[in-house]
């Protein structure tokens, strides 16, 4: 029986070591209960990297609290949790030292989870918050290309097991879908470069930017499209009260190929399940709504709506991939 592997990568607000193997349990159980395909089984691969940044962010939080002015700041809890963890994760991950540790951790866990993958199996990426930025950076950023830097071997090992990504683009498990939840990757697209600029270029004539993911993402999608002959499903879930979530459907196609040849991307607002969210509806454009911002950012892991859509996507992705394999 063929297997669909779901690779979960968390973002901010996942700090406790007790959550290491548990943060995706509820969502995966809901997805599995909605899977009606008798020909494919589901397996989860849970990546945990949240403890890597704890010490540095804890030191910064202590420095804030030691300030004689700190108690006079508004939104202190929000600053110490959502803002510090999001901005802190981004800053620390982009540093070579912490970024390489995250790459090493993801390599160990992802490769262990895929150790039994075989022909006909598929991989589905399910990423939350900064987890989206981290995984896409590892898969497609040029900043890992130098063989002399920390993290290069781990990044290459991860890329080697996924079809369409160098260094072994014609080998590895094929991607079946992408699901992003509360993703800020739209903001990080500002790191992409203007190809009209007079800057250093690679052998293909593209401006070189170490953090620009779009050239290699486009190459990957093109390679995958040639084999499966279908657009890659991409669902982007956003809670309306999540301050880190942004739409992607109008942005990503223009960054990749401009013609939507490779991606079937949809933005989906999830329905607030907590009654307190409805009470805040009249104040949704005010700072008062930030009170629920952290809860909204965590809500995807408990959403039946997200689970149902993911289960449907996995089932609907079976036909084109199996048909493509049978036609070769």
For residue 12, name the pLDDT band (cuts at 50, 70, 90).
confident
**Neighbouring C-alpha atoms within 13 Å toward the C-beta of 65:** 10
Both tokens assigned to 256:
């990749």
Largest CA distance in the chain: 70
Of residues 216 and 239, which shows the higher confidence score? 239
Q: Is 148 helix (H, G, I), strand (E, B) or coil?
A: coil
* Number of domain units in the chain: 1
**Neighbouring C-alpha atoms within 13 Å toward the C-beta of 168:** 12
Condensed to tens digits (0 to 9), the pLDDT of residues 19-45 reads 556 899 999 999 999 877 777 899 999
DSSP secondary structure letter of residue 272: P
Q: Which residues contact 205 (CB under 8 A, 6 or more apart)?
A: none
CATH code of 31's domain:
3.40.50.1820
Domain of residue 68: give its range. Answer: 2-326
Condensed to tens digits (0 to 9), the pLDDT of residues 87-132 reads 766 676 777 778 899 999 999 999 999 999 988 899 999 999 889 9
Phi, psi of 146 (to 5 degrees): -70, 120
Condensed to tens digits (0 to 9), the pLDDT of residues 252-309 reads 777 676 667 888 899 999 876 655 554 445 444 444 445 555 678 888 999 999 999 9
């Amino acid at each position: 029986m063929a297997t669909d592997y779901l690779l979960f990568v968390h973002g901010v607000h996942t700090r406790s070591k007790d959550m290491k193997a548990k943060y995706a349990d509820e969502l995966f159980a809901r997805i599995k209960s909605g899977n009606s395909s008798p020909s494919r089984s589901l397996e989860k691969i849970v990546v945990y990297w949240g403890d890597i940044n704890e010490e540095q962010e804890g030191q910064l939080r202590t420095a804030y609290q030691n300030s004689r002015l700190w108690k006079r700041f508004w939104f202190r809890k929000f600053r110490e949790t959502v803002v510090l963890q999001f901005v802190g994760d981004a800053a620390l991950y982009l540093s070579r030292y912490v970024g390489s540790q995250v790459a090493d951790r993801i390599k160990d866990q992802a490769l262990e989870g895929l150790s039994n993958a075989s022909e006909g199996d598929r991989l589905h990426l399910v990423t939350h918050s900064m987890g989206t930025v981290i995984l896409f950076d590892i898969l497609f950023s040029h900043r890992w290309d130098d063989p002399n830097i920390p993290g290069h071997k781990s990044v290459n090992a991860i890329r080697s097991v996924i079809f369409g990504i160098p260094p072994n683009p014609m080998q590895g498990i094929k991607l079946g879908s992408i699901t992003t939840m509360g993703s800020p990757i739209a903001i990080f697209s500002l790191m992409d470069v203007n190809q009209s600029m007079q800057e250093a270029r690679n052998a293909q004539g593209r401006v070189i930017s170490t953090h620009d993911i779009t050239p290699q993402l486009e190459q990957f999608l093109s390679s995958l499209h040639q084999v499966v002959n279908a657009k890659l499903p991409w669902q982007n879930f956003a809670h309306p009260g999540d301050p880190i979530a942004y739409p992607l459907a109008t942005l990503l196609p223009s960054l990749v190929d401009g013609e939507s040849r490779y991606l079937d991307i949809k933005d989906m607002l999830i329905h607030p399940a907590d009654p307190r969210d409805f009470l805040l509806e009249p104040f949704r454009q005010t700072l008062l709504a930030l009170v629920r911002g952290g809860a909204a950012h965590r809500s995807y892991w408990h959403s039946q709506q997200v689970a149902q859509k993911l289960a449907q996507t996995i089932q609907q992705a079976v036909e084109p991939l199996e048909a493509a394999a049978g036609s070769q």
